[in-house]
Amino acid sequence: MATFTLKTATNVLHRHHNQLAFFSNGASTRRNFPISQNRRSRLVPKVSMSATTVQTFLEKSAPSTKNTALPIMVNACTGKMGKAVINAAEAAGLHVVPVSFGCEDESGQTFEVSGREFLVHGPSDRESFLESVLDKYPNLIIVDYTIPDAVNGNAELYSKVGVPFVMGTTGGDRDLLHKTVEDSKNYAVISPQMGKQVVAFLAAMEIMAEQFPGAFSGYSLQVLESHQASKVDASGTAKAVISCFNKLGVSFDMDKIQLIRDPKQQVEMVGVPEDHLLGHAFHMYHLTSPDETVSFEFQHNVCGRSIYAEGTVDAVLFLAKKIEAKDPKRIYNMIDVLREGSMR
């Protein structure tokens, strides 16, 4: 479940005994969310595939009617986001190719994901592996939800081989990422945020920043973001919003983002439902006037991963249309997707 609030109230982020709390009119804003009790399926390695070629595996797993569905390859298919994207893609009628890049420990094994077997390939000889997949599926689009350290190497490989891709992984050297794609003249959707409604909020922030620069000059900003403990880097969404506030006249350094990764703090201070400690994104931006008589609060809370998975599928479909129309090979973002009305 995702919640979004935009309000102008006398709310203040307080620090007390090195802990963060969020209060509104003297009462905690922690809420009880009606969260569905979805059971997490286990990913179980099946058998070693060292003696089976990727071509044979793809042939065996090909869709029954040839070329009726857009093929996508989800890298890091055993991860939580990979699994969510696979479910969303299949629900949208796409053909998820049953192969994926993974870590060395997973290399050569098949894993059951959402009732299907996926062959995972490790770090070695990835170029020839990817070329084999592309040979079988010329219209292939890749979805990347790997790790920050793999972003630049993966983008370089995709661009070298000439496979369009959607980069959902945050982190890495983003300037180098953009340069790699631009130099290669490849199709790509790269965005710090894949959630549809959050993208719309970001678009509105950018419009406000462009049309009313300096509107919040002199205001101070506090930013708190909470994600599952496995997310090691600061939120790309938070950075994008802060950049807009900078244009609006607010001075704020990215290293001042308050990262909450401790589950106890997330439950007690941020109000994250316990069922979603392993998958959530809570963001709070608090602006205060120089004389502290005016404050603005922007907040968007997301539980689970479906919002990102559905947005990722929208990005894939958008990119496929661009390719079919022979539009310019360049980097697109989720605001481009939103502006074209490509959100289902």
Read off the pLDDT of residues 120-151 as tens digits, 9 standing for 90 and up.
Answer: 999 988 999 999 999 999 999 999 999 999 99
Average pLDDT rounded to a whole number, residues 45-54: 48
* Residue 56 is assigned to a structural domain of this protein: no
pLDDT at position 327, please? 96
Given 121, 231, 276, 286, the catalytic residue: 231
Average pLDDT rounded to a whole number, residues 83-100: 96
131 and 253 share a domain? no
The answer to whether 321 is a known catalytic residue is no
* Residue 218 is assigned to a structural domain of this protein: yes
Given 95, 196, 227, 322, the catalytic residue: 227
Contact assessment for residue 110 and residue 49, using Cβ atoms and an 8 Å cutoff? yes
Helix (H, G, I), strand (E, B) or coil at 8: coil
* Residue 3 is assigned to a structural domain of this protein: no
pLDDT(36) > 90: no
pLDDT at position 61, please? 61
| Reported confidence tier of residue 39, pLDDT bands at 50, 70, 90 | very low
Handedness of CA 239, 84, 120, 278 (dihedral sign): positive
Average pLDDT rounded to a whole number, residues 315-332: 96
74 and 176 share a domain? yes
223 and 254 share a domain? yes
pLDDT at position 122, please? 92
206 and 258 share a domain? yes
pLDDT at position 1, please? 55
User: For 60-64, 140-144, 227-231, which range has the lowest pLDDT when averaged over its residues?
Assistant: 60-64
Higher-scoring residue by pLDDT: 17, 213: 213
176 and 202 share a domain? no
Contact assessment for residue 277 and residue 263, using Cβ atoms and an 8 Å cutoff? yes
CATH number at residue 212: 3.30.360.10
* Residue 129 is assigned to a structural domain of this protein: yes
* Residue 6 is assigned to a structural domain of this protein: no
pLDDT(34) > 80: no
Q: Which two tokens stand for residue 322?
A: 């661009």
Query: Can you tell me the distance from the alpha carbon of 102 to that of 254, in angstroms, rounded to the nearest whole number?
Result: 31
151 and 187 share a domain? yes
Average pLDDT rounded to a whole number, residues 218-245: 93
Average pLDDT rounded to a whole number, residues 43-61: 54
The answer to whether 326 is a known catalytic residue is no
100 and 146 share a domain? yes
| Reported confidence tier of residue 193, pLDDT bands at 50, 70, 90 | confident
87 and 233 share a domain? no
Average pLDDT rounded to a whole number, residues 274-285: 95
b/e 58-93 (16+ beta carbons within 10 angstroms → b): beebeeeeeeebbbbbbbbbbbbbbbbbbbbbbebe
* Residue 219 is assigned to a structural domain of this protein: yes
Mean pLDDT of the chain, nearest integer: 84
pLDDT at position 65, please? 47
pLDDT at position 344, please? 64
Query: For the purposes of burial, counting CB atoms within 10 Å of the CB of 264, is it exposed (0-12), middle (13-18) or buried (19 or more)?
Result: exposed
Q: Which two tokens stand for residue 163?
A: 């496979």
CATH number at residue 82: 3.40.50.720
Query: Can you tell me the distance from the alpha carbon of 174 to that of 179, in angstroms, rounded to the nearest whole number?
Result: 9
pLDDT(79) > 60: yes
| Reported confidence tier of residue 196, pLDDT bands at 50, 70, 90 | confident
**Residue range 6-31, pLDDT digits in tens:** 443 333 344 333 334 333 333 333 33
Average pLDDT rounded to a whole number, residues 78-100: 95
pLDDT at position 211, please? 97
Instruction: Print the domain residue range for 256.
Output: 196-304
pLDDT at position 231, please? 86
* Residue 167 is assigned to a structural domain of this protein: yes
pLDDT(40) > 60: no
Report the number of distinct structural domains present in the chain: 2
Average pLDDT rounded to a whole number, residues 226-231: 91
267 and 317 share a domain? no
Query: Can you tell me the distance from the alpha carbon of 344 to that of 106, in angstroms, rounded to the nearest whole number?
Result: 34
209 and 321 share a domain? no
249 and 297 share a domain? yes
* Residue 18 is assigned to a structural domain of this protein: no
| Reported confidence tier of residue 53, pLDDT bands at 50, 70, 90 | low
Using the 8-state DSSP alphabet, how is residue 163 labeled? -
| Reported confidence tier of residue 2, pLDDT bands at 50, 70, 90 | low
Q: Which two tokens stand for residue 290?
A: 């120089």
Q: Could you give the percent of the chain with pLDDT greater than 90?
A: 67
200 and 188 share a domain? no
Q: Could you give the percent of the chain with pLDDT greater than 70?
A: 79
Whose tokens are 């000059």? That residue is 217
pLDDT(199) > 80: yes
